[in-house]
Amino acid sequence: MNIRTLSTAFKLVSVSLLLLLLGFNFLIGWFVLDQKQRFYAEHKNIADTTVKIVSKEISNFINEKQYLVNIFAEDHSAEIHQLVNEPENDVLKNKLSAIIQRALPDSFAFTLANEIGEPVLDDFSGNIGQTCISDMQLFLKSNKKRIRIHPNINLYHFDLISPWKWENNNGIFFVNFKVGKIANILKTTSPNGHELIIADKSRDYLIEIFENGPRNISIREDYRMKQKNKSRILSEFKIPNTQWTLLDMHEPVLFSSYFSGIYFRLGLVALGFNLFFIVVFLVLIYLERRRVKSDRFKDEMFSLFSHDLRSPLVSILGGIGVLVKHPLYNEQDRKLIHLVEENAKVMSNIVNDILDIQKLESNTMQYHFECHNIVALTKKTCELNHAYADKFDVSIEFKNIDNSLLVDCDSQRFIQALTNLITNAIKHSPKHEIITLDVTKEDRTIIISVTDKGAGIPVGFQPHLFKKFSQSRKGHRHSINGTGLGLVIVKNIIQAHKGLVHFTTKPGETTFVIELPVSLTVQ
């Protein structure tokens, strides 16, 4: 199917379908992107809220334990002082341990240190870690408490420190707490699809507590967070009075599973929509092929019909020409012969118009462009149509003041187009009126106008004037019917000359205008 044979309607519908399809797929893509952004923003907001609330809860939990440790050190300073002086007194140690377990149920061990921070007694069988000693030394020097996870062979824990004082003696009361309660807070408050982790950012995101317990519940070589895990952080918040930062991380499959669902559902919708458009387009192609085939058949029939008519018409016109001159016929016979001749000429014009339209629509019309004097061509066309105008008692007047106007045109096709305009003006002019032709120049444009004094063109018919088989102009003064193809032929010929044809009309006057570019040979 040659693209030249495609109808304008098919091209417009095809382009519209393509644009609609592209627009739909663009909307699908935009919707997916928008949903991804919305889903991420939703979980980011959840994470921001969660870390603030949970951080406060953990801070309150630690502050409460610190308060209990301080009260205990103050209330039992005598026992603590006695045990510092008698570290080998197992009875006293067991008694103090029992009291600590009742007062501080989340603790699992304690350490007592003297005024210089040296551990005197601990529950680690002498295996107190260097981290604990470092925190005690810091507390003695600056009264700062560094709450963090302390690794130990017995149990990973965090420590709370309180000074003790009895009379003139003082030291440090150091209690070791399990992290189970904090881990349980993380586990119970973690949003669906999220994972809460406590980490120490000052030590390169060292993981401290998971939702299931301290970091050593997960066996790994390095407990520092890797970059791929850092990329899962949605929000973070510093836990007050600790070295910890609470991290809200999305689970690895949170976004991928959600996006996969969106891709799958919208993919089905897009597939269905695209298949629908493909089916519609294939149907359109099928219908267009049928139309092209039908038009081709019609054109072939027209061509055959026109050619079959043209040959006998030539013979008829030739024979009539001989009969008109024959001396044996009287005046009445001559009138009848003349009537036959006129109708044969009308038929010949119809056949020629049909053949021209066929050539124009199939783009087989041939043009031979040469530089011509447009004034001379216009004057010649007027002279060729004087006899036709005389039949209707109409005059043709040609106005021009410049005989040097040149255009690049096919002289025969230009004369054909201008003749169609002139004969139209003759047929729609009252008797004894004058048809005026004028040729002027504006910048690089030659303007040829044909003006008649007919009734004008009805407003409702004007949009259809340059369509095939249009014949609805009011005020038709003469009983000469045309094919309704003349103006279509004019428009196509002038457009092939890179020109324009248009009109202005009002009651009592209509002007058709041809605009052609000045010849390229003119500087």
Q: What is the per-residue pLDDT across 119-149, written as a single tens digit (0 to 9) for each?
A: 888 766 655 677 788 888 888 888 888 888 8
Tell me the pLDDT of the chain averaged across its residues.
85
Residue 37 amino acid letter? Q
Distance CA 243, CA 148 (A): 6
Distance CA 470, CA 482 (A): 10
Residue 81: pLDDT over 70: yes
SS3 state of residue 482: coil
Distance CA 128, CA 59 (A): 26
The pTM (predicted TM-score) of the whole model is 0.56
pLDDT given at position 418: 94
Distance CA 523, CA 512 (A): 28
pLDDT given at position 374: 93
Q: What tens digit of pLDDT does each residue of 13-23 get?
A: 888 888 888 88
pLDDT given at position 136: 83
Residue 207: pLDDT over 60: yes
pLDDT given at position 475: 46
In the chain, the largest separation of any two C-alpha atoms, in whole Å, equals 166
Residue 332: pLDDT over 70: yes
Distance CA 439, CA 338 (A): 36
Q: What tens digit of pLDDT does each residue of 156-166 get?
A: 888 899 999 99
Mean pLDDT of 56-82: 93
Burial class (CB in 10 A: 0-12, 13-18, 19+), 43: buried
Residue 19 amino acid letter? L
What domains appear along the chain, each with residue ranges and CATH number? 279-358 (1.10.287), 366-517 (3.30.565.10)
Nearest CA among 38, 40, 521 for reference residue 254: 40
How would DSSP label each residue in 36-102? HHHHHHHHHHHHHHHHHHHHHHHHHHHHHHHHHHHHHHHHTHHHHHHHHH-TT-HHHHHHHHHHHHH
Mean pLDDT of 96-100: 91
DSSP E strand stretches across 264-391: 370-373
Q: What tens digit of pLDDT does each residue of 404-461 get?
A: 899 999 999 999 899 999 999 998 899 999 999 999 999 889 999 999 998 888 888 8
Q: What tens digit of pLDDT does each residue of 383-399 get?
A: 989 988 998 999 999 98
Mean pLDDT lowest for which of 173-187, 214-228, 436-450?
Answer: 214-228
Mean pLDDT of 490-513: 93
Q: What are phi and psi of 437, to 5 degrees?
A: -115, 140
Residue 311: pLDDT over 80: no
Q: Which long-range contacts (CB under 8 A, 24 or more apart) does 324-333 make?
A: none
Percent of the chain residues topping a pLDDT of 70: 87
434 strand-pairing partners: 395
In angstroms, the Cα distances linking 19 to 14, 24, 25, 197, 461 are 9, 8, 10, 50, 33
Which of 286-290, 299-303, 321-325 is modeled with the greatest confidence? 286-290
